[in-house]
Amino acid sequence: MREFLKTLKKIRHEGPDSKNPLAFKHYNPNEKALGKSMADHLRFAVCFWHSFKGTGVDPFGPGTIIRAWEQGVDEMKAAERTLRVAFEFFTKLGVRFWCFHDRDIAPEGQTLAESNKRLDHMVALAKKLQSDTGVKLLWGTANLFANRRYMSGASTNPDPRVFAYAAAQVKKAMEVTQELGGQGYVFWGGREGYETLLNTNMKRELDHMARFLRMAVDYRKAIGFKGQFMIEPKPKEPTKHQYDFDAAACHAFLLKNDLAGDFKLNIEANHATLATHTFHHELQYAADNALLASIDANRGDLLLGWDTDQFPVDLYDTVYAMYIVLRAGGFKTGGLNFDAKVRRQSIDPEDLFHAHIGGMDAFARGLKIAAKMVKDGRFQAFVDQRYAGWSGAMGQKIEKGRVGLKELEAYALKQGEPGPRSGRQELLENMLNEYIR
Ligand code: XLS
Ligand code: NI
Ligand code: NI
């Protein structure tokens, strides 16, 4: 395989004392935590769109990131080279998975037929690169938001011809995801939302979105695609109001439309914070409702109100996240996909390595710390003890639905004032800091 990233070698684990910026300090794929290897726990994936199609463009200026391998050749040749570089990167970094949108790997043609043909060509190459390197597809998806035809939405577009176009694109994207052995398929509602209710029939749009997802489920069954379907919540951006607002809104939508058994969620850290939730709130909601399938690992910025998609480096975030993932039984088909982009000034291929190494080390530390918290059981013991009353006689009667307001009135009259107890937040936060070091 021709090397494009010539000066960059395979990234190895050198331990916490290493000063080599191109080495892992904590991520050691074969090291075990709670009886399972780090690689199996974390299931890292590189996302193709930000890492290999990202240019650093922002509303004030065009791209700053110019990749040498894309220069001086036509767009299909550039696409082929980019895919090859990506697999070289995955291998050197030592991740086992990748993720892509249809239009990331194959530039859109003049017609749908031509776009499909280009995609087939690139998928054949991807299949070969997957088998040469052993890197697998975590999930695939369709880009239903970039082209101007989707400016008013895809499945929620006021025009059924756009709905049909989007359906055709999802059909094809699902087929190629199956062809590449993808373990999942993500529906992120790119422009499924609205700017103003003055021009929007919200009820109709939501019904159409449900119809669209139903068609996808039917087609999955027809072709025997076994990958996990996931919805990725996001409250805003690009539209002012996105329908898949957060995990709870997606859950309600799935229940209402009888789709709950067919979909789980892909939770993205920066989307959680845009919804004014914490990342771990969204993860816990998903876990509690058996909806947690995969994670888009990134972070936002406290001072910026948009999806900055920065690489995750905050240990509190990774600890909380892994504490929830571990207690939910770990990833099955999902993993940690770095849906994150290097900053506009980080223009070298080397910056892609620093970014991913940092994210992988931050999650490796998060895993080690969370595993210790699970093993010690101190936080769990505190929570159990706080709710211990529910295992008592009256607690059980309430939980099992054996008493109503009348019986509880009699009980409350008899037992008198319950007497509040401290929640001990500061003690618990101090205890967490004993683990994070
Ligand atoms: C954008 C989303 C997107 C999805 C895949 O905000 O995170 O990248 O993950 O379409
Ligand atoms: Ni995402
Ligand atoms: Ni995002």
CATH no. for residue 372?
3.20.20.150
Residue with tokens 């683990």: 435
70 occurs within a structural domain: yes
Task: Supply the pLDDT for residue 2.
Answer: 65
In this structure, are 30 and 51 located in the same domain? yes
Task: Supply the pLDDT for residue 1.
Answer: 53
Task: Supply the pLDDT for residue 190.
Answer: 94
In this structure, are 148 and 167 located in the same domain? yes
Task: Look up residue 115 and give its two tokens.
Answer: 């776009």
184 occurs within a structural domain: yes
Quick check: helix, strand or coil at residue 159?
Answer: coil
Task: Supply the pLDDT for residue 414.
Answer: 97
Return the active site residues. 101, 104
CA-143 nearest atom, ligand 1: 10
In this structure, are 111 and 223 located in the same domain? yes
**How many Cα atoms are found within 13 Å in the side-chain-facing hemisphere of 31?**
14
Residue with tokens 């849906």: 339
Could you tell which of 144, 185, 232 is best to mutate to test the pocket of ligand 1, judged by most ligand atoms within 8 Å of the CB?
Answer: 232
Q: Which residues line ligand 1 (CB under 6 A)?
A: 101, 141, 186, 188, 232, 234, 268, 296, 307, 339
In this structure, are 238 and 210 located in the same domain? yes
In this structure, are 125 and 226 located in the same domain? yes
- 62: domain range? 12-376
Q: Could you read off the pLDDT of 109-155 as tens digits, one per residue? A: 999 999 999 999 999 999 999 999 999 999 999 999 999 999 999 99
In this structure, are 368 and 387 located in the same domain? no
Residue nearest to atom 4 of ligand 1 (CA): 188
In this structure, are 86 and 181 located in the same domain? yes
5 occurs within a structural domain: no
In this structure, are 189 and 144 located in the same domain? yes
How many Å apart are CA 206 and CA 326, to the nearest integer?
A: 34
1 occurs within a structural domain: no
Ligand 2 centroid, distance to 245 Cα (angstroms): 13
Ligand 1 centroid, distance to 143 Cα (angstroms): 9
CB of 140 closer than 8 Å to CB of 177:
yes
Model confidence, pTM: 0.98
Last residue of a domain, one of 359, 376, 393: 376
The distance from CA 144 to its chain's CA centroid, rounded to whole angstroms, is 17
For the stretch 200-208, contacts whose Cβ atoms lie closer than 8 Å and that sit 24 or more positions apart, written own/partner, are 201/158, 205/153, 205/156, 205/158, 205/243, 206/156, 206/243, 206/253, 208/155, 208/156, 208/163
Q: Could you read off the pLDDT of 210-232 as tens digits, one per residue? A: 999 999 999 999 999 999 999 99
Q: How many CB atoms lie within 10 A of CB 220?
A: 17
Residue nearest to atom 3 of ligand 1 (CA): 188
Could you tell which of 231, 268, 307 is best to mutate to test the pocket of ligand 1, judged by most ligand atoms within 8 Å of the CB?
Answer: 268
In this structure, are 168 and 29 located in the same domain? yes
4 occurs within a structural domain: no
Neighbours of ion ligand 2 (CB under 5 A): 268, 296, 339
- Of residues 180, 268, 276, 263, the one with CA closest to residue 229: 263
How many Å apart are CA 146 and CA 313, to the nearest integer?
A: 29
List Cβ neighbours of 107 (8 Å cut-off, separation of 6 or more). Answer: 75, 76, 79, 118
Q: Look at the chain and report how many structural domains it folds into.
A: 2
In this structure, are 337 and 396 located in the same domain? no
Residues in the chain with pLDDT values less than 70:
1-2
3 occurs within a structural domain: no
Ligand 2 centroid, distance to 296 Cα (angstroms): 5
In this structure, are 309 and 407 located in the same domain? no
396 occurs within a structural domain: yes
Last residue of a domain, one of 345, 376, 407: 376
In this structure, are 173 and 316 located in the same domain? yes
Residue 189 CA: which ligand is closest?
A: 1
